[in-house]
């Protein structure tokens, strides 16, 4: 069935713990980290911006955006990357020849090259779980319960409701790739 499966990541609840990073690597036996948690606007992770004590620190897990119009799929000369009917952009590592054209094509730096495997790696939205009716492993391991999985095209889904209620945004809309990963921005602080 045609869907637009994706993730909504609530920055208000993300505590930057990197459980998603560890969970993803464990579940998918990857060499690199297909989800990486960025501490925003600073050079070193886990450090705040501003001057003490007027500080701010927000986290953003970055991963494949499972784009509606994925440039990586178009770039792959061996058809190792496929856009599925349910919206997931998946990599068939058997087919991958390690040319890395997709790495350059991805506007989100979401595809990694593994020198050890001589192939690329990326988030497959845990389709091996999704096909069994389960959620992606990162979602069930999220410490802050900040990650939500569902069909962006279904207006009654939790993810669609969150996108509407929280004015969720996509990364790099100017790239016009139609990401299926949305971010709910952190809420404004309510100073006394």
Interface residue list for another protein (CB under 8 A) = 12-13, 15-19, 21-23, 25-27, 33, 43-44, 46-53, 55-58, 137, 140-141, 143-145, 189-192
Q: Which is nearer to another protein, 3 or 117 (CB)?
A: 117
For residue 173, the minimal CB distance to another protein (Å) is 26
Q: Distance between CA 192 and CA 189 in Å, rounded?
A: 9
Max CA separation in the chain (angstroms): 58
Our CB check for another protein shows the closer of 82 and 140 to be 140
Smallest distance from another protein to CB 186, Å: 8
* Peptide bond before residue 53 is cis, with ω within 30 degrees of 0: yes
Whether the CB-CB separation of 110 and 122 falls below 8 Å is answered with yes
Question: Which candidate, 23, 14, 81, places its Cα nearest to that of 45?
Answer: 14
Closer residue to another protein (CB): 17 or 101: 17
| Cβ 62 to another protein shortest distance, Å | 14
The nearest distance, CB 25 to another protein, in angstroms, is 7
Q: Which is nearer to another protein, 12 or 85 (CB)?
A: 12
Residues 6+ apart with CB under 8 A from 82: 73, 89, 90, 92
- In contact, 104 and 22? CB cutoff 8 Å: no
Q: How far is the CB of 52 from another protein (least distance, A)?
A: 5
Contact present, 125 and 152 (Cβ < 8 Å): no
Closer Cβ to another protein, 58 or 151, answer by number: 58
CB-CB contact of 7 with 158 (8 Å): no
């Amino acid at each position: 069935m045609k869907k637009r499966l994706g993730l909504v990541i609530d920055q208000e609840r993300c505590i930057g713990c990197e459980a998603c990073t560890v969970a993803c690597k464990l579940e998918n036996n990857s060499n690199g980290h297909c989800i990486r948690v960025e501490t925003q606007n600073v050079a070193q992770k886990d450090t705040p911006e501003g001057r003490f004590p007027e500080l701010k620190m927000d986290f953003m897990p970055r991963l494949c955006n499972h784009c509606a119009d994925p440039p990586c799929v178009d770039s792959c000369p061996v058809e190792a990357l496929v856009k599925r009917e349910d919206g997931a952009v998946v990599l068939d590592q058997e087919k991958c020849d390690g040319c890395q054209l997709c790495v350059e094509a991805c506007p989100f730096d979401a595809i990694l090259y593994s020198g050890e495997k001589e192939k690329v790696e990326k988030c497959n939205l845990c389709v091996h779980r999704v096909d069994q009716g389960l959620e992606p492993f990162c979602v069930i391991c999220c410490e802050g319960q900040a990650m939500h999985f569902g069909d962006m095209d279904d207006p009654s889904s939790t993810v669609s409701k969150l996108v509407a209620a929280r004015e969720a945004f996509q990364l790099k809309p100017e790239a016009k790739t139609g990401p299926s990963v949305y971010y709910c921005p952190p809420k404004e602080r309510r100073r006394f």
